[in-house]
């Protein structure tokens, strides 16, 4: 499959999946995310070494700002720690890195065009899913607390702990998939290293500042942690997805 055909197919799948998300079908949107993941990696692995070299020449590393408002996500005038961490995890799983923006929850993806397209879609899909599941889980827990205690004070910190556990578990799952791939094929690791080296070189030559670390998410609510981990286990991830070790942080490297 040529790069043009792949990107065209990705665009069509994304439109279909976005429609599913708009009508509330989270399961269908995630299923399409899984299919896109699988198609991207298969496309990279089916190329010969010569074709892969030509592909890299034709697709230089670029940057793309992900605007929350364009994806139905509330844009705020501050950085959001769990969203940044999710973006970094998804980016690394798709041969990209991220830049963060001071005073905004926008992020910039750095990578090759088709990798960015997939990473952006997966980031938005999983972010929407996490927000929806956290809201539902928190609402249910709050109602249970109110019914039991006459107030919902016991639900304080539930959502923050949910997000923390969700991110940690998602990262673990992607790392497990990376290890599985490492044991199954050396070609995949070589291709990943080549792809990530180009992105790392781009970041190094960009002379970006370093973002100040954000305060850690509160993670003391036992039930919130349990629900967040359970939600991350339920997210569809292709068995062909591979995470890499490269991470990323006005635009600032992270």
Q: What is the pLDDT of residues 56-108, one digit of tens each?
A: 777 789 999 999 998 889 999 999 989 999 999 889 888 899 999 989 999 99
Average pLDDT rounded to a whole number, residues 235-252: 42
Rounded Cα–Cα distance for residues 206 and 132 (Å):
36
Asked if 48 contacts 190 with a C-beta cutoff of 8 angstroms, the reply is no
- What are the angstrom distances between the C-alpha of 156 and each of 78, 217, 233? 22, 13, 24
- The whole-model pTM stands at 0.74
Q: How many other β-carbons are positioned within 10 Å of the β-carbon of residue 76?
A: 13
pLDDT of residue 248: 34
Mean pLDDT of the chain: 76
Q: Is the pLDDT assigned to residue 213 strictly greater than 80?
A: no
Q: Give residue for tokens 């001071």.
A: 102
Average pLDDT rounded to a whole number, residues 135-147: 94
Select from 125, 128, 90 the least CA-distant residue to 109: 90
Number of domains within the chain: 1
To the nearest 10°, report the CA torsion of 199, 17, 74, 61: 10
Rounded Cα–Cα distance for residues 199 and 116 (Å):
11
Strands lying side by side in the sheet with 252-253? 62-66, 107-111, 97-100, 252-253, 209-210
Q: Is the pLDDT assigned to residue 195 strictly greater than 80?
A: no
Average pLDDT rounded to a whole number, residues 191-203: 82
pLDDT of residue 23: 44
**CB-based burial label for 222 (10 Å; 0-12, 13-18, 19+):** exposed
Q: Is the pLDDT assigned to residue 151 strictly greater than 80?
A: yes
Q: Structural domain of residue 182, as residue ranges?
A: 3-253
pLDDT of residue 66: 94
Relative to beta strand 107-111, strand 97-100 is antiparallel
Write the CB contacts of 167 (distance below 8 Å, at least 6 apart in sequence). 82, 85, 86, 89, 217, 232
Asked if 180 contacts 243 with a C-beta cutoff of 8 angstroms, the reply is no
Q: Which two tokens stand for residue 180?
A: 């599985």
Average pLDDT rounded to a whole number, residues 218-236: 85
Q: Give residue for tokens 């990107």.
A: 7
Q: Is the pLDDT assigned to residue 240 strictly greater than 60?
A: no
């Amino acid at each position: 499959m040529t790069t043009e055909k792949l990107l065209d197919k990705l665009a069509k799948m994304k439109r279909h999946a976005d429609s599913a998300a708009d009508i509330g079908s989270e399961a269908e949107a995630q299923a399409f995310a899984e299919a896109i993941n699988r198609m991207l990696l298969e496309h990279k692995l089916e190329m010969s070494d010569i074709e892969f070299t030509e592909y890299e020449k034709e697709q230089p590393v670029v940057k793309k700002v992900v605007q929350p408002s364009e994806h139905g996500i509330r844009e705020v005038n501050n950085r959001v720690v769990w969203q940044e961490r999710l973006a970094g995890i998804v980016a690394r799983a798709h041969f990209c890195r991220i830049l963060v923006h001071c005073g905004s929850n926008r992020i910039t993806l750095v990578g090759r065009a088709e990798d960015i397209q997939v990473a952006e879609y997966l980031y938005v899909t999983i972010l929407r899913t996490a927000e929806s599941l956290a809201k539902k889980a928190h609402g249910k827990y709050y109602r249970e607390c109110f019914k039991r205690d006459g107030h919902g004070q016991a639900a304080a910190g539930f959502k923050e702990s949910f997000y923390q556990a969700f991110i940690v578990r998602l990262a673990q799952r992607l790392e497990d998939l990376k290890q599985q791939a490492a044991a199954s094929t050396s070609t995949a690791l070589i291709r990943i290293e080549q792809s990530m080296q180009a992105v790392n070189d781009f970041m190094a030559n960009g002379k970006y500042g370093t973002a100040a670390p954000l305060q850690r998410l509160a993670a003391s609510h036992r039930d919130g942690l349990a629900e967040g981990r359970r939600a991350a286990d339920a997210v569809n991830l292709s068995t062909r997805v591979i995470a890499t070790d490269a991470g990323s942080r006005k635009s600032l490297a992270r």
